Amino acid sequence: MPKAYWIAHVTVTDPEPYKLYAEGASEAFREFGARVLARGGPAQQMEGEGHPRNVVIEFDSMEDALACYHSDTYQNARKHREGRSVAQITFVEGV
């Protein structure tokens, strides 16, 4: 079964409440055995619109990535991100 990758491009507009999202999301990632491959380090935007925060998280499968996203733990954390950031989140299956 191919791995899956959660790719997020984020601009944080209200950092203090966003920290609550980051803590809760990290808990959800641990629950689903995710591995953070990149999180907010230096990036070079080469084409298109960019965001200052870029995240890549690896899951054992697309099913695990989707289950994590839809989990109560992640959805409760997500409430702290809404209105405090602009995010684009995509899941892609590996080869």
Q: What is this structure's pTM?
A: 0.92
Domains of the chain: 4-42+53-93 (3.30.70.100)
Q: Are the beta carbons of 14 and 86 closer than 8 angstroms?
A: no
**Distances from the Cα of 77 to the Cαs of 46, 47, 88, in angstroms?**
31, 30, 16
Per-residue pLDDT tens digits for 48-94: 999 999 999 999 999 999 999 999 999 999 999 999 999 999 999 99
Q: What angle do CA 42, 47, 51 make, to 5 degrees?
A: 45
> Given the structure tokens 């109560």, which residue do they identify?
72
